[in-house]
C-alpha cells in the first residue's frame, strides 16, 4: 500500500486512555507509540526537562509518588485502512487514583477514548467515573482488556460486567485463547488468525499465524463469544451505545496493533464543536480552538505557562494571529509547540484535532476560545462541581493579598476552584481529587511564599445557582451563610450534603442548581 493524503479534517484521531492505576496504561501507551514508528514524546520530554531544572515542591510530589500530575500530548502516525496517513494525538491523563479536574478537562479535548481494564480485576470505581464523564461528553469508547497473558477472570465475566455496569452493548472483536499458564494467544474474529506468543508470531494479530488450530474447549468458548454478543455497529459505537472489546497484553504486545487499527478505522475524526446555537465544523475556513489546560510555572524563575489549545477548525500556521476570547485583542503565536511534528522543535502547521502548546504569561485561561475573527465562543467546556471543600487558613495574616492572587492564579489554571463566601473572610477551595490539595499547599509555599493550611469546611459540595431574578433574590436573602462567589463572581450554593441540594432544588423550582458550569 502506498501512502496517500487524507483530507486534513479526516486525518486526525485525538484520543485519551482511561484506566485505573496499574491496569497498564503506561505500558500500552509505550506500545502504541512503538507501533507508530514516529515516536514523539513532546510533553513528557518537556516535563522531565522542567523537573530537572525546577525542583519545585510540585514536581517533588510527582517524583515522590512516581506519578505525573501534568498531562502530555503524544503524537504518532500510521497508515490507515485505505493506505492514507492517519495522525494520532494521544492525550495523556494523570493515572493517579485521585483524578483531578485536569483529567476531566482532558476528556473535553478528545474525540474518543480507550478504556483499559485489567483482565483479573475488571472495572474499578475510578474507571467507571471517567467512563461517565466520557458518556457525558459523547466520547465513544473502545475497550481493551489487558493482561490476558496472566491468570485472569473468565473473559465472559469481564464482558458482562462492562455491559452491566456501564449499560453498554459489548462486541468482542478478539478473544484470548486461554489465560494465565494456559495462554496460547489471541484470536481475531475478523480474520480467524491467531497471534501466538511462540511459533514465529512475535508481533500481534493480523501479520502472522494463519493456523486457527486451537484446543477444542477454547474454540467452543470463542465461538460462543462471537455469536453471543452483538456484532460491531459503527453507528452504535459512535453514539456511545456500544463498545468494541479487544483482548490483549500490552506488556507482551498482543492485540495492540489491532487496537490502533480499530482507532484508525472506527474512531471518530475531529468533531464539530458547539458555539452557542452554532456548530463549528473542522472544515470551517478559519482557525479556531479552545484552551483545555494550562500548565504553569514549569520553571519558577520565569512565570511561564503553556496553554494547551485543542484546534477545532482551519489550518494553523506558525506566527498566525489569534484572538483569545478572554483578552479581546489578537496575539501572534510565534513559538507554538506543535506536538504533532515528528521533530518536536518547530513545525509550521496544525490541523483540526491537533493540540498546540502556546507559551504565555497568564493571558490564556482554561475555557478561552481562540479564533482569527473573534466571532465565535465555544460552549460546553464545563467546570465540575468540587467534591472536596476546604477552608484556607493563612499562617501569616499579612499575606492576605498574596493568598488571593495565588488562589486566583491557581483557579485560573484549573488546579483548584476558589469560592469567596458572602459572609466571613475565609476563602474556600474546592477540588475533585485529594491530590489537588497537596499540590495546592506545596505550590502556595514554593511559588507564592504563602504558608497556608487547610481545614474542614462545613460543606460537602457546591452548585452554581441561576434562574429567575426574583427567586434568586429571595434565595440569596435566606441562604446568605451558604452562599459564595466563584472567581468570576458567579453565585454558588455551598451545600452541606447532597440531600441539601435536592431539598433546595425542590423548594426553589424556578432556580437551576448546576453541578457544572460553562466556562
Ligand atoms: P498504569 O500506567 O496503568 O499504572 O500501569 P503500568 O503500565 O505501569 O502497568 C502496571 C503493571 O502491570 C506493571 O508492572 C506492568 O509491567 C504490568 N503490565 C502491564 N501490562 C501487562 C500485561 O499485558 N501483562 C502483564 N503480565 N503485566 C502487565 P509492575 O510490576 O508494576 O512494573 P514493572 O516492574 O513491570 O515496571
Average pLDDT over residues 379-397: 82
Counting Cβ atoms within 10 Å, is residue 177 exposed (0-12), middle (13-18) or buried (19+)?
Answer: buried
For residue 244, the CA-to-ligand 1 centroid distance in Å is: 23
Counting Cβ atoms within 10 Å, is residue 285 exposed (0-12), middle (13-18) or buried (19+)?
Answer: exposed
Mean pLDDT in the chain?
A: 82
Query: Which residues are within 8 A (CB) of 124 and not within 5 positions of it... i.e. 6 or more apart?
Result: 20
**CA dist., res. 206 & res. 208, Å (int):** 6
| 216-228 vs 155-166: helix crossing angle, rounded to 10 | 20
| N residues, the chain | 519
Mark whether 242 and 277 lie in a shared domain. no
Q: Give the cell for residue 383.
A: 467546570
Q: Give the cell for residue 419.
A: 469560592
Find the range with the poorest average confidence among 186-195, 228-237, 450-459: 186-195
Please report the pLDDT score of residue 499 as a whole number: 86
Assigned domain for 454 exists = yes
Q: Which of 499, 504, 463 is nearest to 484 (CA)?
A: 463
Site of grid cell 482511561: 18
Ligand 1, atom 19, residue with closest C-alpha: 24
More confident residue, 149 or 244: 244
For residues 501 and 460, the answer to whether their CB atoms sit within 8 Å is no
Mark whether 435 and 491 lie in a shared domain. yes
Supply the CATH number for residue 241's domain: 3.40.50.300
Please report the pLDDT score of residue 47 as a whole number: 39
| C-beta 248 within 6 A of ligand 1 | no
Backbone φ, ψ for residue 275 (5° rounding):
-135, 85
Where does the pLDDT of residue 200 fall: very low under 50, low under 70, confident under 90, or very high at 90 and above?
Answer: very low
Point out the domain boundary residue: 314, 342, 371. Answer: 371
- The pTM score is 0.77
pLDDT at residue 143 tops 80: yes
| C-beta 27 within 6 A of ligand 1 | yes
Q: How far apart are the two ends of the chain, measured CA to CA in Å? A: 45
Point out the domain boundary residue: 343, 371, 399. Answer: 371
Mark whether 303 and 434 lie in a shared domain. no
Q: Give the cell for residue 39.
A: 515516536
SS3 state of residue 511: strand
pLDDT, tens digit, for every residue of 203-215? 444 444 555 667 7
For residues 298 and 54, the answer to whether their CB atoms sit within 8 Å is yes
Ligand 1, atom 31, residue with closest C-alpha: 22
Query: Which residues are within 8 A (CB) of 247 and not within 5 positions of it... i.e. 6 or more apart?
Result: 119, 144, 145, 148, 155, 172, 174, 175, 176, 186, 255
What DSSP element (H or E) covers 493? strand 491-495
Assigned domain for 319 exists = yes
Closest atom of ligand 1 to CA, residue 27: 7
Supply the CATH number for residue 438's domain: 3.30.70.3280
More confident residue, 41 or 101: 101
**CA dist., res. 256 & res. 145, Å (int):** 11
Give the DSSP per-residue string, 164-229.
HHHT-EEEE-EEEES-GGG--EEEETTT--EE-SSSS--S-SSSS-------HHHHHHHHHHHHHS
Average pLDDT over residues 421-441: 84
| C-beta 363 within 6 A of ligand 1 | no
Mark whether 50 and 176 lie in a shared domain. yes
Where does the pLDDT of residue 51 fall: very low under 50, low under 70, confident under 90, or very high at 90 and above?
Answer: very low
Where does the pLDDT of residue 72 fall: very low under 50, low under 70, confident under 90, or very high at 90 and above?
Answer: low
Q: Give the cell for residue 85.
A: 496517513
Mark whether 289 and 398 lie in a shared domain. no
pLDDT, tens digit, for every residue of 102-111? 777 888 899 9
Q: Which of 33, 90, 251, 258 most suits a substitution to test ligand 1, by most atoms within 8 Å of the C-beta?
A: 251
Counting Cβ atoms within 10 Å, is residue 287 exposed (0-12), middle (13-18) or buried (19+)?
Answer: buried
Assigned domain for 94 exists = no
**CA dist., res. 413 & res. 342, Å (int):** 29
Assigned domain for 2 exists = no
**How far from 158 is each of 58, 145, 216, CA to CA, in Å?**
38, 8, 22
Q: Which of 97, 105, 100, 77 is nearest to 16 (CA)?
A: 105
Q: How far is CA 395 from the centre of its chain?
A: 35
**CA dist., res. 119 & res. 123, Å (int):** 9
Where does the pLDDT of residue 140 fall: very low under 50, low under 70, confident under 90, or very high at 90 and above?
Answer: very high
Bridge-partner residues for 313, per DSSP? 288
More confident residue, 252 or 47: 252
Where does the pLDDT of residue 232 fall: very low under 50, low under 70, confident under 90, or very high at 90 and above?
Answer: very high
Find the range with the poorest average confidence among 57-71, 173-187, 269-283, 494-508: 57-71
Report the 10 Å Cβ neighbour count for 163: 18
For residues 38 and 74, the answer to whether their CB atoms sit within 8 Å is no
Assigned domain for 95 exists = no
Bridge-partner residues for 84, per DSSP? 4
Closest atom of ligand 1 to CA, residue 252: 23
For residues 371 and 288, the answer to whether their CB atoms sit within 8 Å is yes
Mark whether 23 and 62 lie in a shared domain. yes
Mark whether 322 and 401 lie in a shared domain. no
Mark whether 404 and 477 lie in a shared domain. yes
Q: Give the cell for residue 488.
A: 468570576
Largest distance between two CA atoms of the chain = 77
Query: Which residues are within 8 A (CB) of 206 and not within 5 positions of it... i.e. 6 or more apart?
Result: 188, 191, 193, 195, 257, 258, 261
Number of domains composing the chain: 3
**CA dist., res. 391 & res. 419, Å (int):** 10
Assigned domain for 91 exists = no
pLDDT, tens digit, for every residue of 332-385? 998 787 765 444 445 678 999 999 888 887 788 788 899 999 999 998 776 667
Q: Which of 330, 418, 411, 403 is nearest to 367 (CA)?
A: 411
Mark whether 149 and 15 lie in a shared domain. yes
Assigned domain for 108 exists = no
Ligand 1, atom 9, residue with closest C-alpha: 24
pLDDT, tens digit, for every residue of 257-298? 889 999 999 999 999 999 988 999 999 999 999 998 877 655
Assigned domain for 88 exists = no
| C-beta 251 within 6 A of ligand 1 | yes
Average pLDDT over residues 438-444: 87
Point out the domain boundary residue: 371, 392, 426. Answer: 371
Cα radius of gyration (the chain): 24
For residue 146, the CA-to-ligand 1 centroid distance in Å is: 10
Ligand 1, atom 14, residue with closest C-alpha: 22
Mark whether 486 and 338 lie in a shared domain. no
Domain limits at 466?
A: 382-518
pLDDT at residue 95 tops 90: no
| C-beta 23 within 6 A of ligand 1 | yes
pLDDT at residue 302 tops 60: no
Mark whether 327 and 392 lie in a shared domain. no
Mark whether 445 and 335 lie in a shared domain. no
> E strands within 281-354?
288-296, 305-313, 316-317, 321-324, 331-332, 337-338, 349-350
Ligand 1, atom 36, residue with closest C-alpha: 27
Amino acid at each position: 500500500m502506498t501512502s496517500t493524503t487524507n483530507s486534513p479534517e479526516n486525518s486526525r484521531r485525538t484520543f485519551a486512555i482511561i484506566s485505573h492505576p496499574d491496569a497498564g496504561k503506561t505500558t500500552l501507551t509505550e506500545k502504541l507509540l512503538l507501533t507508530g514508528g514516529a515516536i514523539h514524546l513532546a510533553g513528557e520530554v518537556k516535563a522531565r526537562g522542567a523537573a530537572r531544572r525546577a525542583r519545585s515542591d510540585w514536581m517533588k510530589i510527582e517524583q515522590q509518588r512516581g506519578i505525573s500530575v501534568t498531562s502530555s500530548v503524544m503524537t504518532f502516525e500510521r497508515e490507515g485502512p485505505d493506505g492514507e496517513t492517519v495522525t494520532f494525538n494521544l492525550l495523556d491523563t494523570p493515572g493517579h487514583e485521585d483524578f483531578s479536574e485536569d483529567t476531566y478537562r482532558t476528556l473535553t479535548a478528545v474525540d474518543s477514548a480507550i478504556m483499559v481494564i485489567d483482565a483479573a480485576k475488571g472495572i474499578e470505581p475510578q474507571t467507571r467515573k471517567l467512563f461517565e464523564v466520557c458518556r457525558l461528553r459523547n466520547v465513544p469508547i473502545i475497550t481493551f482488556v489487558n493482561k490476558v497473558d496472566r491468570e485472569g477472570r473468565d473473559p465472559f465475566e469481564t464482558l458482562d460486567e462492562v455491559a452491566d455496569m456501564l449499560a453498554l452493548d459489548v462486541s468482542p472483536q478478539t478473544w484470548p485463547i486461554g489465560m494465565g499458564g494456559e495462554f496460547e494467544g489471541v484470536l481475531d474474529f475478523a480474520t480467524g488468525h491467531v497471534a501466538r506468543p511462540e511459533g514465529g508470531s512475535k508481533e500481534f494479530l493480523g501479520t502472522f499465524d494463519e493456523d486457527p488450530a486451537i484446543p477444542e474447549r477454547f474454540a467452543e468458548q470463542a465461538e460462543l463469544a462471537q455469536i453471543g454478543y452483538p456484532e460491531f455497529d459503527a453507528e452504535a459505537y459512535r453514539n456511545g451505545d456500544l463498545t468494541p472489546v479487544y483482548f490483549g497484553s500490552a506488556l507482551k504486545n498482543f492485540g495492540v496493533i489491532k487496537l490502533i487499527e480499530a482507532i484508525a478505522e472506527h474512531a471518530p475524526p475531529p468533531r464539530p464543536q458547539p458555539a452557542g446555537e452554532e456548530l463549528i465544523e473542522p472544515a470551517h475556513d478559519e482557525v479556531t480552538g479552545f484552551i483545555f489546560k494550562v500548565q504553569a510555572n514549569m520553571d519558577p524563575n520565569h512565570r511561564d505557562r503553556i496553554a494547551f489549545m485543542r484546534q477545532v477548525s482551519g489550518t494553523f500556521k506558525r506566527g498566525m494571529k489569534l484572538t483569545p476570547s478572554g483578552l479581546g485583542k489578537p496575539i501572534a503565536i510565534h513559538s507554538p509547540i506543535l506536538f504533532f511534528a515528528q521533530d518536536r522543535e518547530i513545525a509550521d502547521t496544525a490541523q483540526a484535532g491537533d493540540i498546540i502548546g502556546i507559551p504565555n504569561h497568564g493571558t490564556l485561561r482554561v475555557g478561552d476560545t481562540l479564533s482569527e475573527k473573534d466571532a465565535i465562543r465555544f460552549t460546553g467546556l464545563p467546570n465540575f462541581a468540587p467534591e472536596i471543600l476546604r477552608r484556607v487558613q493563612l499562617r501569616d495574616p499579612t499575606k492576605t493579598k498574596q493568598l488571593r492572587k495565588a488562589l486566583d492564579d491557581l483557579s485560573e489554571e484549573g488546579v483548584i476552584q476558589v469560592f469567596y463566601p458572602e459572609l466571613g473572610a475565609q476563602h474556600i477551595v474546592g477540588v475533585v481529587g485529594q491530590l489537588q490539595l497537596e499540590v495546592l499547599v506545596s505550590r502556595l509555599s514554593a511559588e507564592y511564599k504563602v504558608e497556608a493550611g487547610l481545614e474542614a469546611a462545613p460543606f460537602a459540595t457546591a452548585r452554581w445557582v441561576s434562574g429567575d431574578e426574583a427567586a434568586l433574590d429571595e434565595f440569596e436573602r435566606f441562604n446568605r451563610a451558604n452562599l459564595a462567589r466563584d472567581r468570576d463572581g458567579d453565585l454558588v450554593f455551598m451545600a452541606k450534603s447532597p440531600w441539601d441540594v435536592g431539598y433546595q432544588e425542590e423548594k426553589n423550582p424556578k432556580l437551576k442548581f448546576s453541578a457544572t458550569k460553562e466556562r
